[in-house]
Amino acid sequence: MEPKNNTDELLKTTGLVILLGLAFSIAYWGMFDVAGRFLPTWDNSMLHAGRAVFIMETGHYAEMEVVFGGVTRTYHLPAYPALVAGTALLTGLDFAWTERLLTMVLSTLLAFAFYAVAKGISGDWRAGVIAGIFALSSTNLMTWGTRNSPIGLGNALLPIALYLLLKRRTLAAALCALVIALDHQPTLIVFALSAFLFFVYEYLSSLPRANLSVGRIFSNIMHPEVLTASLAGLAAFLTYMAWHVRQTGLACLNFSCLPQFGAKEFGKSIDFLDYFSKSPQAIALLGILLLPLSKAPNRNKALAFAWLLACIILVKNDLLGIGAFTERFLTYLDGVVAVFAGVGIAIVLSWMENKKEPASA
Amino acid sequence: MERRTLISAAFLLACAYLSATYTYPQMRAALPGWYDPVVTASEIRAAEWAYDNVPHQSHFAGDMFACEMLTAVAFQICSIGGAWELADNPNQRYMDNERAFLTDSATEAHDLLAKYNITYVFVSTRQEPNKNFYAYGWKQPLIEKFDTPGLFEKIYDNESTEIYVVK
């Protein structure tokens, strides 16, 4: 539901103020109340700060780990430390104040990103507001996504990148994909799989119904309606592979050398019955059921379900014999679940609006 | 007033109520541990001193949180860190680092630190005694052994945080 008059516009703005105010207040409380005397230090966040300081001190990225004696070539990606170092350079702030500033900005951006993508999918600003609030209610998302670490940047960029795919902003989507590829591997995997599934939908739906030839099947990858997903996916894949080959050479093209996969970190199997029996996940079932029946364009539905399916595959990757990072991917599942919950509630509200008044006697 | 406006206004009231009575309190209950700085103000001041007085990118040993803080505040390299899976032989390094702080033998600690070319030891007595030293869980380090001339030399001692040179 696009705002139809000044009153609607005012209500929409009020919704955004509530959402962004909530995000800002949580981040402010965390950074200036709980962590007031310094910075949060859990989840290796100071390692990333250390890499940022390395750039600030030397002008180069730390090619080796800054702990464990500094003898191991790093697998960590450079985007977040570069963002901290660049912001410090531009603002004149020290690394700690830069981290505080960026955390506040990224936490608020996270809420806005979920607002944008849910509104983009459903066409109703109310879906955006409630999706944002549900995203901010996710302990997984807030634990990993609202502190001074690359995940904070990745969690905000993922919904933005998917929104850009939805709106066919090809250059912006490719640039966003490139930054995700240089920021955080799990976020990249979620984006790449979501974009790929969406690409498959766009590709198949853009194929001509008649006169289908072999040449057309291949050339259709660059069809204008498929181009955004194709280029964003390629940007993410090629950027990460360039970094991966730079760090590991050609001997690890199947990624088996990456310690996360070798150690099968966080490989616990997730029980979906238990997961979807909690709130707000249970509310998301409303959106999963109602979105296919709604008037939203089919490609909007396709993007939402591509994102959901990608997260489900990754959370349940133990069923594919991988069993790595399953719990970490819950963070991303919580995000798309918040979007579906928002979309579901917005559809119900629209239905209530359009319900005919009973005829008066 | 139109029905759409009424519904949207009621929706916003519900959102404000949800934010104030559920989301914000829920996060205040769930997140404090994750926002905890762990390291003390005294440790940060010691790290700032190290930034000014110790050659940058020297090799320090400390607990996990002090180590990671030292990489940023003091611009040093440290013995262990949280991303243990990314290290060379991490379990041995973790075990040896922990042992160097927990043993009561100055010689054993010195040998373990020398094995990894550690040149500085960073120790602190945190106010919360269960957060004194983190390696494989929270432990109580024995720091008196570092006052052993010939093996270690104290170069900083302020507000319960000490830095020693490994001889």
Bond into A280 cis (ω within 30): yes
Domain definitions of chain B by residue range = 3-35, 41-166
CB A160 within 8 A of CB A113: yes
The first and second tokens of residue B61, run together, are 């040993």
pLDDT over 70 (residue A262): no
Closest by CA to A142, choosing from A43, A62, A18, is A43
Residues in chain A, how many? 361
The first and second tokens of residue A112, run together, are 């806005």
Of B12, B16, B67, which is closest to A67 when you measure between CB atoms? Answer: B67
CB contact, 8 Å: B27 with chain A? yes
Residues B58-104 pLDDT 10s: 999 999 999 999 999 999 999 998 776 667 778 889 899 999 999 99
B77-78 and B59-61 as β-strands: parallel, antiparallel, unpaired?
parallel
- Say which residue the tokens 């498929």 belong to: A226
The first and second tokens of residue A170, run together, are 């090809």
- Say which residue the tokens 């009561």 belong to: B104
B137-139 and B133-135 as β-strands: parallel, antiparallel, unpaired?
antiparallel
Q: Is A259 exposed, middle or buried (0-12, 13-18, 19+ CB in 10 A)?
A: middle
pLDDT category of residue A155 using cuts at 50, 70 and 90: very high
Q: Which pLDDT score is estimated for A317?
A: 86
Q: Which residues does chain A have within 8 Å of residue B35's beta carbon, measured at their own beta carbons? A: 30-31, 34-35, 40, 147
As a whole number, mean pLDDT of residues A268-272 equals 82
Q: B80 vs A129: CB contact, 8 Å cut-off? A: no
CB B60 within 8 A of CB B100: no
pLDDT category of residue A218 using cuts at 50, 70 and 90: confident
Give kind and range of the element (H or E) at residue A55: helix A45-58
User: DSSP characters for A172-204?
Assistant: HHHHHHHHHHTT-HHHHHHHHHHHHHHHHHHHH
pLDDT over 50 (residue A359): yes
- Provide ipTM, 2 decimals: 0.94
Q: Which residues does chain B have within 8 Å of residue A343's beta carbon, measured at their own beta carbons? A: none
Q: Which residues does chain A have within 8 Å of residue B47's beta carbon, measured at their own beta carbons? A: none
Q: Which pLDDT score is estimated for A361?
A: 38
Q: Which pLDDT score is estimated for A360?
A: 46
As a whole number, mean pLDDT of residues B137-151 equals 92
Q: B71 vs A46: CB contact, 8 Å cut-off? A: yes
Q: B23 vs A133: CB contact, 8 Å cut-off? A: yes
pLDDT category of residue B107 using cuts at 50, 70 and 90: very high
Question: How many angstroms separate the CA atoms of B107 and A127, rounded?
Answer: 65
CB contact, 8 Å: A127 with chain B? no
Residues A109-145 pLDDT 10s: 999 999 999 999 999 999 999 999 999 999 999 998 7
Question: How many angstroms separate the CA atoms of B113 and B120, rounded?
Answer: 9
Domain definitions of chain A by residue range = 6-354
Q: Which pLDDT score is estimated for B129?
A: 66
pLDDT above 90: percentage of residues in chain B:
78
Question: How many angstroms separate the CA atoms of A344 and A31, rounded?
Answer: 33
Q: B86 vs A22: CB contact, 8 Å cut-off? A: no
pLDDT over 60 (residue A249): yes
User: DSSP characters for B70-118?
Assistant: HHHHT--EES--S-GGGSSSHHHHHHHHHHHHH-S-HHHHHHHHHHTT-
Question: How many angstroms separate the CA atoms of A340 and A344, rounded?
Answer: 6
Three-state secondary structure readout of A233-275: HHHHHHHHHHHHHHHHHHHHCCCCCCHHHHHCCCCCCCCHHHH
Nearest CA in chain A to B115: A69
As a whole number, mean pLDDT of residues A73-101 equals 95
| Nearest-neighbour CA in chain B from A209: distance (Å) | 41
pLDDT over 60 (residue A266): no
Spell A24-46 as b/e; 16+ CB within 10 A means b.
Answer: ebbbebbbeebbeebbbbbbbbb
The pair phi, psi for residue A124, each rounded to 5°, is -125, 120
CATH architecture of structural domain B41-166? 3-Layer(aba) Sandwich (3.40)
Q: Which pLDDT score is estimated for B16?
A: 97
Of A11, A35, A68, which is closest to B12 when you measure between CB atoms? Answer: A11
pLDDT category of residue A255 using cuts at 50, 70 and 90: confident
Mean of the per-residue pLDDT values for chain A? 90
Any idea what the Cα angle at residue A234 is, between residues A214 and A86, rounded to 5°? 165
pLDDT over 70 (residue A2): no
User: DSSP characters for A262-317?
Assistant: HHTTT-PPP-HHHHHTSTTHHHHHHHHHHGGGSSS-HHHHHHHHHHHHHHHHHHTG
Nearest CA in chain A to B119: A69
B residues 70..99 contacting A (CB < 8 A): 71-72, 75, 77-88, 90, 93
Closest by CA to A114, choosing from A19, A205, A209, is A19
Task: Give the rounded distance of the alpha carbon of B138 from its chain centre.
Answer: 11
Best residue of A66, A147, A260 to probe chain B, by most B CBs closer than 10 Å: A66
Query: What is the longest distance spanned by two Cα atoms in chain A?
Result: 84
